[in-house]
Amino acid sequence: MSTRRYIVTRAHTSEFAEPITLVRGAPLEVGERYVGPEGWDDWYFCETPGQEGGWVPAQVIDVIEGSSARAREDYTARELDVRVGETLIGARTLNGWAWCERAGTPEAGWVPLANLREITG
């Protein structure tokens, strides 16, 4: 998987203090699909025992039957708070979001792609 470098063009602050965090195989109860003007398609509100519910991308959900599912891989909904002008290293993009690390730090989380511009060259 190739990494990408981004510059933050619009600040982002997470609204979720305790993001859902899953290990591969964790049981899930799949709820509503996210609908909004942002173009963040294929995100589902999921619940797992012992945690608050959170948004999970369809690529991580392995439906067993009906709304019962399990996590296909380790996953966290942690978002990264960012400020305009910061440089980030993106490792993965899913459904309008990028998993990024803050350059030079161990801090990582999801950032909306609309808040980023890829640095090329």
2-42 pLDDT, tens digit each: 799 999 999 999 999 999 999 999 999 999 999 999 888 99
Q: How many CB atoms lie within 10 A of CB 57?
A: 19
Q: Which of 79, 72, 69 is nearest to 31 (CA)?
A: 69
Q: How far is CA 96 from CA 57, 117, 118, in A?
A: 10, 13, 14
pTM of structure: 0.91
- Domain count for the chain, please give it: 2
Report which DSSP code applies to 17: S
Give the Cα separation of 21 and 98 in Å (integer): 17
- Boundaries of domain holding 66: 21-76
Q: At 85, which CATH number?
A: 2.30.30.40
Give the Cα separation of 81 and 2 in Å (integer): 23
| pLDDT tens sequence across 73-89 | 999 999 999 999 999 99
